Chain A
Amino acid sequence: MIELRNVSKSFGESKQSVEALRKVSVSIQDGEIVGIIGYSGAGKSTLLRLLNGLTSPTSGEVLVDGVNPSTLKGAERIRFRQQFGMIFQHFHLLWSRSVNDNVRLALELANVPKNEQDQRIAELLGWVGLTDKAHQYPATLSGGEKQRVGIARALANRPRYLLCDEATSALDPETTRSILDLLQRIHRDLGVTIVLITHQMEVIQAIAERVLVMEGGEIVESNDLLPLLLNPQQEITRKFVKSIVDPGERIPWEHDTVYRLSYVDTLSSRPLISEIIQRYGVEVNILQGKISRTGQSSYGTLYVTLQGAHQKEALAFLQEQGVRVGVES
């Protein structure tokens, strides 16, 4: 488990110093996929680098299974750091080394004996699907392939945590999808705890189990994915959620009340709309709707108007079934 207690971090000299993090406290459980979202300058990168000790806090403490990396020196510090793998937006591969040897770098730095290196590299490249590119140089690879090498390198020393620094931000949507699938596979099959930072809500939606929203060096909102999507509290969170949930243009409707029905799985597993039509004799006019998938489930929003005598009862029934009902102005 990782714990941050009242962690602050400033950069620069005292007068013009910039506070990248302000009194952040958060804990990350083993086996989670935590997504941290925020605009650039929100402090996400700094937070990520505190976890593996690439930077140290100005005040407060970071504890990884009770160990504070700031107190470690030399070989202990190196071993501590090797519990973390890290991947980057721009991959940061060595162009002077082949794919094989980029992965080998991780093993060399961990003093893995030479005769074990080749087998481990083959295993890793097989795992990320790059066996046939082993002898190529990074310059000849596509963005997605480079990130796969980055992932193989990050996993080389069997880390417990994988830190992803905007790992898909430089990739096209399709490649992003395949990298996110790979990350999910890593989480599922290797039990690696994943902490990822991003400014893309799509990434959070696709993979995160728990979400931290950062703004101005603070964590302003923290929740499990679905509750956060269905019930965002902060303005900034609403903006992020809107960027994926907003169904876009809607038929203008001024005659009667437009209801917003948000739901998780419910409507997709049960024909609730037809149930309220039959039970309460209401007419349902669907103006707009959208269903999105997250890593584990689906959720959606329907915009409807109702006609008939038993509207209230129908809405109450929907609420009983777990649908959130809101009124659109």
Chain B
Amino acid sequence: MIQWNQMGQAIYETVYMTAVTTLFVTILGLVLGSILFFTRPDGLEPHPIVHKILNGYVNITRALPFVIFLLILMPVTRMLIGTIFGPNAALPALILGAAPFYARLVELALREVDRGVLEAAESLGARRRDLFLKVLLPEALPALISGLTVTVVTLIGYTALAGVIGAGGLGNLAYLYGFQRSNAAVMWTSTGFILLLVFIVQWVGDRLAKHVDQR
């Protein structure tokens, strides 16, 4: 009833989409989130215009249901990737959808860092770059990791949703073979693998966050 090579291919596609997206989302989220943090009105380099624009982008993207976001982005995807089917076609929407989510978590994580510690570093002669690399990032690391964990878990959900509209992966398998062809075994097995992925990510994230936390 279950074609295991098909299942294997679906698992691979889901992991592939999640991994590539995570890579980009981490970078984009860190950059965006840090800019958000620095340009805040009460931040270290206040810049109202930059902050408003980025903040607006983050808020709007996060407010849009991801499935709508997928549909809106279809023309962009076709232009960039050349097709709207397959795992690669899901990447632009996944990245653009999840990066603002992580950016917000990055901003929050950085804001959690004690202002007094920043002041202490400044009193020792830290420049902005030192503050960021030597104080903010290391001190926020556990929160950055748990934020990324939450983001990746959400991402796995997004890949399943993208799968339903043609991106491949476990979501696609569960929908096309499991749901539409009433193959319960395929549906539950795909779901099981999705859950397993989520648990693994959560477990690794928690362990990592705990490992770097010396508080």
Contact = CB atoms under 8 A, between A and B. Distances in A.
Given A86-B123, A109-B124, A97 B117 contact: no
Interface stretch (A32-40, A87-95, A199-207): A87-95
B138 interface: yes
B65 interface: no
10 contacts: A54-B119, A54-B122, A81-B124, A81-B125, A85-B123, A86-B123, A88-B120, A95-B215, A108-B134, A163-B123
Contacts of B125: 78-79, 81-82, 109-110, 157
A92 B121 CA distance: 9
Contact of B214 (A84, A88, A95, A108): A95
A92 B120 contact: yes
B123 A96 contact: no
A109 B138 contact: no
B45 interface: no
Interface of A: 52, 54, 78-79, 81-82, 84-86, 88, 90, 92-97, 105-106, 108-110, 137-139, 150, 153, 156-157, 163
Contact of A105 (B121, B127, B141, B214): B121
Contacts of A90: 116
Residue among B123, B127, B141 facing the most chain A CB atoms (10 A cut-off):
B123
Interface string B128-148: 001000110011010000000
Interface in B201-215: 212, 214-215
A81 B116 CA distance: 17
Given A94-B139, A96-B138, A97-B138, A139 B121 contact: no
Contacts of A52: 123
Nearest to B139: A96
Contacts of B114: 92
A185 B119 CA distance: 26
Contacts of B121: 105, 109
Given A54-B123, A82-B125, A109-B126, A94 B116 contact: no
A105 B61 CA distance: 39
Contacts of B214: 95-96, 137-139
B116 A88 contact: yes
A81 B123 contact: yes
Those 9 A-B pairs whose CB atoms lie nearest each other, nearest first: A92-B120, A86-B123, A137-B214, A78-B125, A96-B138, A92-B116, A109-B125, A106-B124, A82-B125
A53 to B, nearest CB: 9
Nearest to B140: A96
Nearest to B127: A78
Contacts of B134: 105, 108-109
